[in-house]
Amino acid sequence: MDESAKRVYFRAAKVSPVENHLYVCGLNGKRMEQLTTKPGTHTAAFSDDFKFFMSTHSNVDTPPKTTLNQSNGKLIKVLADNEAYHDLTKSYGFASTEIFKITVPDGAELNAFMMKPRVFDPTVKYPVLMFVYGGPGSQNVLNRWNSNMWHHYLTQQGYIVVCVDNRGTGGRGRDFQHCTYKNLGNMESADQIASAQIIAKYPYVDSSRVGIWGWSYGGYMSSLCLFTGGDVFKAAIAVAPVTNWKFYDTIYTERYLQKPQDNKNGYEDFSPINHAAKLEGNFLLIHGTGDDNVHVQNSIELQNALIAANKQFLSFYYPDRDHGISGGNTRLHLYKMMSDFIFEKL
């Protein structure tokens, strides 16, 4: 906010829910101007005097480019064009990312992206791995550079990778985001399961080999989707998942679910731990024992519930690793283990 000029700069999804552009307007809400024009996702960092800003822009076809601009958006200088990186990704055979829409049975329209093998044969039936986060206000489906190396690698091994932004995510307005309030997991998992059912009917998809994976809230979602949508998903990976909202921190949980004593059903109805007995597919559960965000208690209690229900599953703990599960060889070890699981079970 430029107080002296009485102007506020902000990013918004005014052009499209899958794009972010930079705008400026008066503090009275008048004279709004769009400062960025290239299709895609833009970020900005302003100088203290608001005369300049650095912007980083990318889209599904263009890796991040950083520029220096005047406050009115006029380009001064390209600081980093990343062309060498772009050439390198081409040489490694990065997959293209296609943004599309899925309309679920109740009429809701969801944004999604799909990554196909670079050498794609529409007559072949491909397995699909869905990637989910899906938490309140989040967005994974954006017109931006897709830098998830593991997803690109999986496409080279003959997999299609799909991501769907379920209801409750951001960029779609208040009603779309607010509809999951006090009932986390219900509508989100239903959207993911319905989307998987639709994708499974695509002529180039092997409907018997659809899986899902996620981390943190995404691990919560992948667990819930496998347990409640076992006839749709053959396999799931949950990394550092919330399994019972009573185990997660209050500042986040009570924001969306209120207090446990005020919303008992909201806490219990869609906690994966309470659906463990429904597990039918292949499940890999991963957690760091030093996780100070999603405490390892979440996975331990889910294990107990699965054992009590006599359900077979795989699990792995990374000693003293935090929520990011990193350090030294850890990430290489983690992604090789997940790859091996996908290749064997999906």
**Which residue among 216, 222, 223, 271 is the active-site one?**
216
Angle at 231 between CA 230 and CA 232, to 5 degrees: 90
* CA–CA distance, 67 with 69 (Å, rounded to integer): 6
Q: What is the CA radius of gyration of the chain?
A: 22
Please answer whether residues 213 and 281 qualify as being in contact, where contact means their C-beta atoms are separated by less than 8 angstroms.
Answer: no
DSSP readout, 235-302? Answer: EEEEES----GGGS-HHHHHHHH--GGG-HHHHHTT-GGGGGGG--SEEEEEEETT-SSS-THHHHHH
Instruction: Give the DSSP letter of residue 68.
Output: E
| Euclidean distance between CA atoms 24 and 250, whole angstroms | 35
Helices within the chain (DSSP H only): 83-91, 149-156, 174-178, 186-199, 217-228, 250-257, 264-268, 297-308, 330-345
Distance between CA atoms of 8 and 319, rounded to whole angstroms?
46
292 is a catalytic site residue: no
299 is catalytic: no
Q: Assess whether 216 carries a catalytic annotation.
A: yes
- Between CA 188 and CA 168 the distance in angstroms is 7
Active-site entry in 2, 206, 323, 339: 323
Separation between Cα atoms, residue 19 and residue 257, nearest integer Å: 29
List all residues 6 or more positions away from 183 whose beta carbon is below 8 Å from its beta carbon: 265, 266, 269, 270
Strand partners, 91: none
Instruction: Please list, in sequence order, all residues whose beta carbon lies within 8 angstroms of the beta carbon of residue 5, skipping any fewer than 6 positions away.
Output: 50
Catalytic hit among 58, 291, 295, 299: 291
CA distance 87 to 144: 17
Catalytic sites, residue numbers:
216, 291, 323
